[in-house]
Structure 1
Amino acid sequence: MDSKLQMFENRLTKVFRHISKLAKRQNITCYRVYDDDIPEFPFSIEMYEDHVYIAEYQRRHGMEEADHEAWLDTCLELISKVLNVPPANIWVKQRQRKENRQSQYEKLSAESREMTVYEGGLKFKINLSDYLDTGLFLDHRTTRGMVRHEAKDKKVLNLFCYTGSFSVYAAAGGASEVTSVDLSKTYLAWAEENMKLNGFDTGKHTFVHADVLQYLDTLKLNTFDLVIMDPPTFSNSKRMKDFLDIQRDHAELLNKVLLATKKDGVVYFSNNYRRFILEEDKINAASIKDITNQTLPFDFQQKMVRKCYRLTK
């Protein structure tokens, strides 16, 4: 084995041993193992119970395609060995291309690539094959727990709700009503499915297919007790009337959200923009707390670029 591969194996063995122990202790079965720790091995590697999900980040590697495929196969054999997961349970995405690799690591049978996983005693549908992300953002595990803890008898609004994991946690915490809003019909249907999966009556909760930027202008004042807003950094979806730039637009968005929030209501706001700076002086909140470090799970301690804030009206 060449020295770089040996270095990768040593690193992966070490972090997996450490992180899997912490996960076991906390009864966590979905967690990140490795994230671009060694520049020559630009992967994000996540465990989803007995499956592994690998995203290869786009880098200039200078290899011909055939050489790159061979190198990737070698890496996958090594990952399979270290994590003790059979190749049939390993899924690979290359972040520059949407399609899945046609290789021995792709299941060739017509089996569904969807599975149900557990987090915090709740069930979530994930998809390991069809999208760039699995449907469950593992870095917000702790934040979701905070929302569950605070949701009892509250009216909750989940904006840019994606597959609705925050909505499920809010319902599990006893929210009186959860409104989930997203521009994607696919993700909204997935959010509804996640709610049903956990036995919640979807008739009591609302799923809104809308552009959040326009939807905010339709909200009545002082309606919600608890709001979650985890927007993309940039979005110019064809269905969106306006182009979203979270650095430029966050103060305006938050102020609209705060208008729709009751007095003493809470807004959780996070985003993934690396150079994000919160413009506190422009935001009409009674208090703003940076809770980024408090919300970092053990498997993201080394590498976390997202920011997270708790605003009180």
Structure 2
Amino acid sequence: MIEQNANTEEKNRYQSELFANRLAKNLKQLRKWARRSRVTCYRLYDRDIPEIPLACDIYTFLPAEITDKMEAARFLMEQNTAISANGPEARQIIFEETQRTYAHIYLYERPYEKDDAEEDEWLKTMAAAAAKTLGLEHDHVITKTRRHQSDNGKRDQYDKIDSQIHISGTIQEQGQLFKVNLTDYIDTGIFFDHRPLRDTVRSECAGKTVLNLFCYTGSFSVYAAEGRAKRVESVDMSKTYTEWAKSNLKLNGFTDEEKYPVCRQDAVGFLNQKNAEVPNKEGTNRYDIIILDPPTFSNSKRTDTTLDINRDWISLVAKCLGILNPDGTLYFSTNSRRLKFDSTLLPSQDGTELYEATDITSKTVPEDYRNSRIHRAWKIKAKVTHE
């Protein structure tokens, strides 16, 4: 038993060194990129080493007194300029920045059984390695375990997790501000992997109507509002996340609730309702851009229906296309690797395909993700007919 424990400790120590070395290497590459890209949160480690199945994300909060995106932009520009100049202020600025920085680590469920006590000890060892390498206090490293979703009973993705500490703050991403919560839920309030697609929506939506389904905390909605969309509607079934989305919109200066409505409703029910409606003259029940980024699986207590995207994607996409304006665009994304996308299953008429789908995955995976399969994404539009 003593020999077994010694071997386990040695293996943990060895893997912690591997993890620390990779964190240091990635940090050197990504820290400057993050400053140039105007992001204060990004993925530092993405299961780079198969034997160390972790994801490590960096979150650097803005100072608590900064509550405006223009003020944040000025602050970060001045800070980055001082750091680049490497003058006498740089060391103090970096120290203060570190005090606002956290590492958020997910342990992905292993494909094999491992003793819980051994796993806890292993994760503590990795967290200690991260703290030392990144120059963080130990309580600035948050660890969680992300387990596979299953349909064994009701599991509510919106439930809070049992946490004795509460850590939240404001981050900047490409000019926008977002509230994040690192401790109270499995996810923090923003998904980094959709950063490029959010930027695409922002650049395309001027003067257009936008629908953000399964909106979560409204990051796509904030980007669309910043891109001068005519109207942005956000839909999610969670009270927690719809209130969070409203807060993010207001944080960025978008307070007009008629122009930026946030609807607490089951997305499938919302789609059924809009498809049953005749297009109105105000154009508020038809859309130029729809973002469809549903969970892979959902069996929330808040609805009697179960969503399985591998099974239901055809129906969901068809309902979105039913309320899409003739020259509109549907962006459909999924994290499921099992989903078998087939463009011939999109709505057709008398055997004639009406829509074309372009796989845009490679253009939507950000630089800080080594996992190019983090999601898949398609751009779906009506085919142009030549009469």
TM-score computed with the length of structure 2 as normaliser: 0.74
- Runs (5+) with no aligned partner, structure 2: 1-9, 61-100, 149-159, 280-285, 348-353, 383-387
Q: What pairs up with 1:39-118 in 2 under 5 angstroms?
A: 39-49=50-60, 50-59=101-110, 60=112, 62-63=114-115, 65=117, 67-96=118-147, 99=161, 112-118=166-172
Larger mean CA deviation between 55-64 and 165-174 belongs to 55-64
Larger mean CA deviation between 184-193 and 28-37 belongs to 28-37
Q: What pairs up with 1:1-313 in 2 under 5 angstroms?
A: 2-49=13-60, 50-59=101-110, 60=112, 62-63=114-115, 65=117, 67-96=118-147, 99=161, 112-203=166-257, 204-219=259-274, 220=277, 223-284=286-347, 285-313=354-382
Q: Work out the CA distance in 2 between the residues paired with 1:255 and 1:101.
A: 40
Larger mean CA deviation between 149-158 and 36-45 belongs to 36-45
Contact 1:92 1:100 (C-alpha < 8 Å) held by counterparts: no
User: Structure 2 counterpart of 1:62, which letter?
Assistant: K
Q: Work out the CA distance in 2 between the residues paired with 1:93 and 1:271.
A: 22
What SS does the corresponding residue of 1:81 show, helix, strand or coil? helix
What SS does the corresponding residue of 1:277 show, helix, strand or coil? coil
User: Structure 1 counterpart of 2:114, which letter?
Assistant: G
User: Structure 1 counterpart of 2:318, which letter?
Assistant: N
Q: Deviations over 1:194-217 (max 9, x none)?
A: 001111024222111111112111
Aligned CA-pair RMSD: 2.1
Larger mean CA deviation between 221-230 and 260-269 belongs to 221-230
Q: CA deviation at 1:150?
A: 1.0
Q: Work out the CA distance in 2 between the residues paired with 1:94 and 1:151.
A: 37
Contact 1:180 1:207 (C-alpha < 8 Å) held by counterparts: yes
Q: CA deviation at 1:224?
A: 0.6
Q: Work out the CA distance in 2 between the residues paired with 1:95 and 1:307.
A: 20
Q: Work out the CA distance in 2 between the residues paired with 1:46 and 1:115.
A: 15
What SS does the corresponding residue of 2:363 show, helix, strand or coil? coil
What SS does the corresponding residue of 1:294 show, helix, strand or coil? helix
Larger radius of gyration: 2
What SS does the corresponding residue of 1:23 show, helix, strand or coil? helix
Q: Work out the CA distance in 1 between the residues paired with 2:242 and 2:120.
A: 36
The structure-2 alpha-carbon separation of the partners of 1:261 and 1:20, relative to structure 1 and needing over 3 Å to count, comes to same
Q: CA deviation at 1:259?
A: 1.2
Contact 2:15 2:52 (C-alpha < 8 Å) held by counterparts: no
The structure-2 alpha-carbon separation of the partners of 1:71 and 1:234, relative to structure 1 and needing over 3 Å to count, comes to closer
Contact 1:213 1:242 (C-alpha < 8 Å) held by counterparts: no
The structure-2 alpha-carbon separation of the partners of 1:36 and 1:61, relative to structure 1 and needing over 3 Å to count, comes to farther
Q: CA deviation at 1:172?
A: 0.5
Aligned residues: 304
Q: Deviations over 1:97-139 (max 9, x none)?
A: 974676xxxx5xxxx5220100011110000010000000000
Q: Percent identity?
A: 41
User: Structure 2 counterpart of 1:209, which letter?
Assistant: R
Q: CA deviation at 1:19?
A: 2.4
Larger mean CA deviation between 8-17 and 222-231 belongs to 8-17
Which structure carries more relative contact order (alpha carbon 8 Å, separation 6+)? 2
What SS does the corresponding residue of 2:368 show, helix, strand or coil? helix
The structure-2 alpha-carbon separation of the partners of 1:225 and 1:39, relative to structure 1 and needing over 3 Å to count, comes to same
Contact 1:48 1:117 (C-alpha < 8 Å) held by counterparts: yes
Q: Deviations over 1:57-108 (max 9, x none)?
A: 223463451x443333322121012122222322221225974676xxxx5x
User: Structure 2 counterpart of 1:250, which letter?
Assistant: W
Q: Work out the CA distance in 1 between the residues paired with 2:263 and 2:369.
A: 31
TM-score computed with the length of structure 1 as normaliser: 0.90
Q: Work out the CA distance in 2 between the residues paired with 1:63 and 1:248.
A: 34
User: Structure 1 counterpart of 2:263, which letter?
Assistant: V
Q: CA deviation at 1:221?
A: 5.6
Larger mean CA deviation between 42-51 and 128-137 belongs to 42-51
Q: Deviations over 1:239-275 (max 9, x none)?
A: 2232212122112211111110111101111011012
Q: Work out the CA distance in 1 between the residues paired with 2:217 and 2:223.
A: 12
The structure-2 alpha-carbon separation of the partners of 1:251 and 1:45, relative to structure 1 and needing over 3 Å to count, comes to same
What SS does the corresponding residue of 2:361 show, helix, strand or coil? coil
The structure-2 alpha-carbon separation of the partners of 1:304 and 1:182, relative to structure 1 and needing over 3 Å to count, comes to same
